[in-house]
Amino acid sequence: MLKRSLFRVAYRVLIALSVLLALTARPAHAQIVAGTITALNGSATITRAARKFPAAYSAPVDVADQLETSPSGRLTVTLTDNSQLELTESSTLLISEDLLNPNGTRARTSLTLMGGLMRSLVRVAAGTSPNYEVHTPNAVASARGTTYDTYYTNNTHRPGFPSCKEFTDVLDYDGVVEVRSVTNPTSPPVELHSGQKTTVPCGLALLPASGLAALSTGSAAGGLSTATIAAASAGSFAAVTGGVVGGVAGAGGFSSGSTPTPAPKKPITPTM
């Protein structure tokens, strides 16, 4: 138990240092363009070299940029390898790393979701090992060419977890995703396939993979309850019918009693 606690503290320190380094001043020539904002609804901000400014449609996004959406803001970033990430309301994301091979394919992409919900639409490069990762303070989701959502919250109570308020949920719509805990290295990773999801609660063991439709049944199925999502998002998930959140609700994630439908794969409509 002591070893696990120390590992968890060390990982949190590492995350904090990564954010601090990303937000400190960098020489202009050191900036690496990771992608471009290709859709924007509502308002969002970019923090670059300790300077925060409004995000804009078609604006470049650099490695080490921190993106933050307002309670009514959503955005899509198309990365340099044409993979896409969609960030929904009240979410914060750090572009930790984005490297390309000489032929333009992705060498490695690493993103850090510090709060909120993000969808990844990962471009598949045949014959490559998993090289697209979404980190949260307590989990890592590695994609092997897929469409999946990552949701992180650290101030939520869920039935069945009386001493835990930190959760990472991963919902896989297409492809394969490996999810592992970074605060509990003794917990075996969970491999998700299309139509499956898992939850990483605090530093506890990962929940087994289960069907996306099971999310609507709440913690008994190891997923999100309607009450939990309503409290965490103030109803914003139910208000969006396209893009990131519409996909989750359509798959049975944040609704109760609805018939699951395929998750949409189109990005949110851009605001010109």
**Model pTM?**
0.73
pLDDT of residue 126: 65
Q: Where are the alpha helices (DSSP H) in 162-233?
A: 226-233
Mean pLDDT of 5-24: 48
**pLDDT tens, 150-172?**
999 998 999 999 999 999 999 99
- Neighbouring CB atoms inside 10 A of 103's CB total 6
pLDDT of residue 127: 63
The CATH topology of domain 2-215 is Jelly Rolls (2.60.120)
Residue that is written with structure tokens 């923090």 in the block: 47
Q: What is the C-alpha to C-alpha distance for residues 76 and 245, in angstroms, rounded to an integer? A: 13
Mean pLDDT of 223-245: 35
Mean pLDDT of 198-209: 96
Please say whether the beta carbons of 143 and 118 come within 8 A. Answer: no
Residue 141 above 90 pLDDT?
yes
Q: What is the C-alpha to C-alpha distance for residues 196 and 230, in angstroms, rounded to an integer? A: 22
**pLDDT tens, 92-108?**
999 999 988 887 778 88
- Show the CA angle centred on residue 11, arms to residues 183 and 148, nearest 5°: 65
Residue 13 above 80 pLDDT?
no
Q: What is the C-alpha to C-alpha distance for residues 23 and 50, in angstroms, rounded to an integer? A: 5
pLDDT of residue 205: 95
Among candidate residues 81, 11, 73, 4, the one with its CA nearest the CA of residue 45: 73
